[in-house]
Every structure is written in C-alpha cells, then in structure tokens.
Amino acid sequence: MIDLDFDKMGGLIPAIVQDHASGDVLMLGYMNAEAFAATLESGEATFFSRSRRELWIKGKTSGHVQRVKSIHIDCDRDAILVRVEQVGGAACHTGYRSCFYRRVEDRRLIIDDQPIFDPKEVYKK
Amino acid sequence: MIDLDFDKMGGLIPAIVQDHASGDVLMLGYMNAEAFAATLESGEATFFSRSRRELWIKGKTSGHVQRVKSIHIDCDRDAILVRVEQVGGAACHTGYRSCFYRRVEDRRLIIDDQPIFDPKEVYKK
C-alpha cells in the first residue's frame, strides 16, 4: 500500500488538480485517507470538504466530475498531484475553467479568464 | 492590497509552483504573509519552512532559485499558484525536476523521471 503522511496536517493532504491535456492547474483540494482510497477505487477525484466535514466527489452536483488520468506523490509524501480530464471544461464553482482565475498585477487581483458556465444555471436548487 | 485567507491554516497558505514554460507542477510549498510579501517584492519564490519555522528563499542553498513569472489566487483566496522559471532545471532537493517524480501505479509508487542533478554534489557542506 502507499504510505502517505496524513499526520502533518491533521489527517489531510493537499491535492493539486491539473488538466492532463492543457496542463492548467485547476484547483487545490484536500484528501483524507478515505478520499484518497475512493479516488483510487472510483477513478474520480474525491476530496474531503473542510467546511462540510464530509467526503466530496468533485462534480457530483454539477456533473463536472474529474476523471483521473494519473496520480503523483511528492518527495515528502505530503502532497498529491492528480491529473484529470475535467468533464464540462470548468473546475470552479464560479464557472471558470480554473479556480485560479485571478492574477496578481500591481498588488491587485485582476480576472484573467472568461467563465465557461453560469453557476446559476448549473447549481439550480 | 491583496486580501488572502491566512487564517484557515494557522497563518499559512499552500502555494503550488508550476514551471511557466513546460506547465509541469514542480512542488507545493507554504507561504505566510511575510513569505508572500517577500515573493512579490523580490520576484523569487519564498516560502515558510514548516520544519525549520523560518522564511525560506527557495534555491538559496542550491542556487536553483525560482524566478516568478506570474501569481494567481484561487476563488477562496486560500491557495496560490506561482508560475516560475526554475533556475538549474530541478526544483526538488532529491535532484528531480519536480517533487512529484513518483507515480501511483497498481497501488504502488514508481519513479517516473530521471534526476537532473546529484544532491551530494549540490548540497556540499
């Protein structure tokens, strides 16, 4: 089995999600041991939601799941890199392709991309 | 000024470092407010070392500094993406280009890259 260092951050390891085709960094999530096992088992990126304190299959609500193409582990075994196919093209709940859609410019944040979907349409309640 | 959420993780924010030319994810570090300000000011990626509890200019010992090309902030303002020029070609203290040099394959870790330098040569004491 793969021995990861979940102790350093109270049971969680940060997981970087990268688009396997474009190389764009899409988001940063957190996995506990259960989320990591679920990701390996299901082939869909699964995280632990720190706000809701529960397992979170990315895209379960929006349909924009992340199909895992590869998983890499860093030298200290305390960070994960997941390369995915991003279904629907957008990883961010705001409708942007990447959660990193704002760039630091002259000590301010400016929006650096165009939204792909309208969150109001996707997250209808 | 840029308002980042340093509170969620006790003063630290994870910072993903990506090679601006190849798109390779090189490492994950942590910045406190001081490291973030130093990165903006100096143009060289600067982190907070969790083990040494001090500011850490990446590459200060090896000469393999990371020249900042762009900085992006995520939707929740609790993650940073730094695109860099990696001087010397290797970000990892093990001599690999990326700290993510091991791939998960059949529930085991296999080495997925060739080292660029010999750590014994670079980190002479």
What's the rounded Cα separation, in Å, for the pair A65 and A44? 7
* Best to test chain B binding among A1, A4, A76, A100 (most B CBs inside 10 Å): A100
CB contact under 8 A, A102 and B40: no
Q: Which residue has the tokens 């990447």?
A: A98
The pLDDT confidence band at residue B125, using thresholds 50, 70 and 90, is low
Q: Two tokens at B121?
A: 């040569």
Of B1, B75, B81, the CB nearest to A92: B75
Mean pLDDT of B62-90: 96
Q: Is residue B53 within 8 angstroms of chain A, CB to CB?
A: no
CB contact under 8 A, B76 and A94: no
* Best to test chain A binding among B19, B28, B105 (most A CBs inside 10 Å): B28
CB contact under 8 A, A2 and B109: yes
Residue in chain B closest to A100 (alpha carbons) equals B74
A37 contact residues in B (CB cutoff 8 A) = none
Please check whether residue B38 is in contact with residue B55, taking contact to mean a CB–CB distance below 8 angstroms: yes
Q: Is residue A56 within 8 angstroms of chain B, CB to CB?
A: no
DSSP string, B38-73: HHHHHSB-EEEETTTTEEEETTTTTS--EEEEEEEE
Of A8, A24, A27, the CB nearest to B74: A27
The pLDDT confidence band at residue A23, using thresholds 50, 70 and 90, is very high
pLDDT digits (tens, 9 = 90+) for A45-101: 999 999 999 999 999 988 999 999 999 999 999 999 999 999 999 999 999 999 999
* Angle (CA) B82 B86 B89, round 5°: 145
The pLDDT value given to residue B61: 86
The pLDDT confidence band at residue A122, using thresholds 50, 70 and 90, is confident
The pLDDT value given to residue A125: 55
CB contact under 8 A, B104 and A74: no
Q: What is the ipTM of this complex?
A: 0.95
